[in-house]
Amino acid sequence: MASTLPPTHLPTWDLQFFYSSFDSAEHLAARQDLEAQLTVLEAQLDQEGIDGGDALPADATQAHRARSLVDRLNHLMTNMTPMRAYAYGRLTTDAGDEEAQAAIGYLTKQGIRASKIETRFTAWLGRFDVAQLVAHDAVLQDHAFALHKRATEAKHQMTMAEEALAADLGETGGSAWSRLYGNFSSQIEVVVNGDSMPMSAVRNLAYDSDPNVRKAGYEAELAAWSRNEIPIAAAINAIKGETLLLAKRRGWGHPLEYVLFDNHMDRASLDAMMSAAQKSFPDWRRYLRAKAKALGHEGGLPWYDMFAPLGEERSYEYAEAERFVEDMFRRYSDKMGDLARTSYDERWTDAGSKRGKRDGAFCMGAGQGKSRILMNFKPAFGSVATLAHELGHAYHNQCLATRHPLQRDTPMPLAETASIFCETIIKRAALQETEGAAKVAILEASLQGACQVVVDITSRYRFEESLFAGRAERDLSPRELCDAMRAAQDSTYGDGLSCGHPYMWAVKPHYYSYGAYYNFPYMFGLLFALGLYDVYTQDPDAFRDRYDDLLASTGMFDAATLAQRFGIDIRDEAFWQRSLGVLVEDIDEFEQLVTNG
């Protein structure tokens, strides 16, 4: 298929799909409509006594009220989606965009109003036997999981006055610190060999073919984080302090307890997965030492060579990456291939690096089953895999398009399953089609990513455990944060590394998002996706429709229930070990290839 882009062009995403500007008539009308919807909902709550209190009969009258609120909340969320997408689309590609900053501030204020409405609705649901309530109405039955979840949350609410105060303070508390981190870190300038460049560009030097460039970038990056550690440490302390305080006041024993509930998981599933991961660490250290040897190091791998290319890695121009991903997706199904093609034709992706642009990659829903993807593309297979990963999220958004917003509330573990399943499709296809040094390059890129998800994610999880333990007593200094990160990396990477990265707590934006433990869901996604991929290979035709139905249902059932549809028990460590076994086989092959090469 002919490329839609010149060979060296990196696309910018189309935000005109939403609005032409913040001052456009359409955007101003959307603001007015949003405020009107919030006012109507607030009045309805007051008029109908939608609040916490004593138990109420789950009769038809109350079901009618619940149905009205569900409909209005769904409508509100639908209308907020394009406003958020436009504002975040502008701000994440230009941290200095003052109009976007103002729009985010406005949406934060309106979001607080919406949060208060949802809090009262949740408290009200806690007064009913939800099973009896939903029996009166088909739409409520379709929303049963979301309503049951809210009724459980009601048991963990503070008083309504306290919840309202927490929502108000959020704007100048954790949310403000999160915005500070995002704006501040994206504008850090780093000097490498006399050249000044943004942090995102410096971190991309880790993938350079020149070892001197990689090491220089690593050293300059650490120095830059050290110079800027004080405000970043203040941000992480403030955010985690707020998380701890609210968890305690709401009756959750620990933030992890709430995170598991919110992610539709239980502790048995998490423990089974983490135990299996721990047992695989010797194999991952074997991979790291094999890579170190191939790069000429004795012993473990230095951090700055973690992402060094191996083998005869071919360079991928962006248009080639588009073609490859679409072709591999189409081998799975025309529906998935068409999704990729639509994303290219409609310019869903912003791919280049520039000053003020957020590092990393993400996919956000744009409404109507469409998405927007941000990435920082580099001409290597790793970025091809990233494109596939983010398009996996977009495919998931497409599958969810038939659901109402309250039914789409997908937890991270299941959201990451969809993206990593698509990554797996292209990686397995690429490995089958190559051999020799070219295969080493692709296999190593695949293992590199999997090592991040299994080993590095565990280090981040352990760091966050120690962060919460320390923050429960007092603020932690930058030195203490670095020490905790070193300890977490030592306990996971072990002798696979010769030196680590003590400032990963400053690098990863996930620590600065509201909530906690934005890490282990990625491992769940990888290993669950590998388990699903195994089911797919056994009977592809029977799998596809069932998989789409699973993706369309990720906000309507818990993870264990959805897994059981495919005969998978996520509370059984053996399942996770089988998925990890696929990766260990890749490690064996990699070790053999680099040794014989």
Domain ranges for the chain:
25-172
Q: How far apart are CA 298 and CA 177, in angstroms?
A: 42
- Which residues face 189 on adjacent strands? 198
Query: Looking at residue 597, what is its pLDDT?
Result: 63
The end-to-end CA distance of the chain, in Å, is: 35
Cα angle 592-594-597, degrees, rounded to a multiple of 5? 105
CA distances from 121 to 53, 131, 169 (A): 12, 16, 20
Element (H, E) at 430: helix 412-433
Each residue's pLDDT tens digit, 193-220: 999 999 988 998 998 989 999 999 999 9
pLDDT at residue 6 is higher than 50: no
pLDDT at residue 338 is higher than 80: yes
Mean pLDDT of 65-89: 98
Assign residue 312 a region (left: φ > 0; alpha: ψ between -120 and 50; beta: otherwise).
beta
Query: Looking at residue 7, what is its pLDDT?
Result: 42
Cβ 273 vs Cβ 453: under 8 Å: no
Average pLDDT, rounded, for the chain: 94
- Which residues face 162 on adjacent strands? none
Query: Looking at residue 3, what is its pLDDT?
Result: 39
Q: How far apart are CA 593 and CA 597, in angstroms?
A: 6
Nearest to 517 by CA among 554, 580, 453, 463: 463
Q: Mark out the alpha helices in 295-380 (DSSP H runs).
A: 318-332, 334-345
Each residue's pLDDT tens digit, 233-280: 999 999 999 999 999 999 999 999 999 999 999 999 999 999 999 999
CA distances from 129 to 55, 59, 61, 133, 405 (A): 9, 10, 14, 6, 23
pLDDT at residue 284 is higher than 80: yes
Q: How far apart are CA 575 and CA 309, in angstroms?
A: 32
Cβ 328 vs Cβ 388: under 8 Å: yes
- The share of the chain scoring above pLDDT 70, in percent, equals 98
Phi first, then psi: give them for residue 353, nearest 5 degrees: -95, 145
Range of lowest pLDDT (308-312, 448-452, 481-485, 580-584): 308-312
Q: How far apart are CA 218 and CA 187, in angstroms?
A: 18
Query: Looking at residue 574, what is its pLDDT?
Result: 96
The pTM for the full model equals 0.87
What is the gyration radius of the CA atoms in the chain, in angstroms? 24
**Both structure tokens of 51:** 């609040």
Range of lowest pLDDT (122-126, 170-174, 240-244): 170-174
Residue type present at position 387 = L
- Which residues face 364 on adjacent strands? 372
Phi first, then psi: give them for residue 301, nearest 5 degrees: -90, 130
Residue type present at position 304 = Y
Dihedral of the CA atoms 84, 90, 95, 101 (nearest 10)? Answer: -50
The total of other beta-carbon atoms located within 10 Å of residue 498's CB is 17
Specify the fold of 25-172: Butyryl-CoA Dehydrogenase, subunit A; domain 3 (1.20.140)
Q: How far apart are CA 443 and CA 249, in angstroms?
A: 48
**Both structure tokens of 166:** 């927490």
pLDDT at residue 1 is higher than 70: no
Each residue's pLDDT tens digit, 533-550: 999 999 999 999 999 999
pLDDT at residue 9 is higher than 50: yes
Q: How far apart are CA 579 and CA 575, in angstroms?
A: 7
Give the 3-state secondary structure of residue 173: coil
As separate numbers, helices (DSSP H) first and strands (DSSP E) second, the chain gives 25, 7
- Using pLDDT thresholds of 50, 70 and 90, give the confidence band for residue 355: confident
The two beta strands, 370-374 and 349-350, are parallel
pLDDT at residue 359 is higher than 90: no
Residue located via tokens 């070219």: 438
Query: Looking at residue 378, what is its pLDDT?
Result: 87
Q: How far apart are CA 179 and CA 183, in angstroms?
A: 6
Q: How far apart are CA 468 and CA 461, in angstroms?
A: 11
Residue 483: exposure state from Cβ atoms within 10 A (0-12, 13-18, ≥19): middle
Nearest to 269 by CA among 67, 563, 37, 545: 563
Nearest to 423 by CA among 403, 462, 402, 452: 452
HSE (side-chain half, CA atoms, 13 Å) at 354: 13
HSE (side-chain half, CA atoms, 13 Å) at 519: 23
Query: Looking at residue 315, what is its pLDDT?
Result: 82
Cβ 374 vs Cβ 350: under 8 Å: yes
- Using pLDDT thresholds of 50, 70 and 90, give the confidence band for residue 8: low
Cβ 559 vs Cβ 413: under 8 Å: yes
DSSP string across 382-417: HHHHHHHHHHHHHHHHHHGGGS-GGG----HHHHHH
Each residue's pLDDT tens digit, 467-486: 999 999 999 999 999 999 99
Each residue's pLDDT tens digit, 416-463: 999 999 999 999 988 888 888 888 998 998 999 899 999 999 999 999
- For the chain, helix, strand, coil in percent to 5 are 70, 5, 25
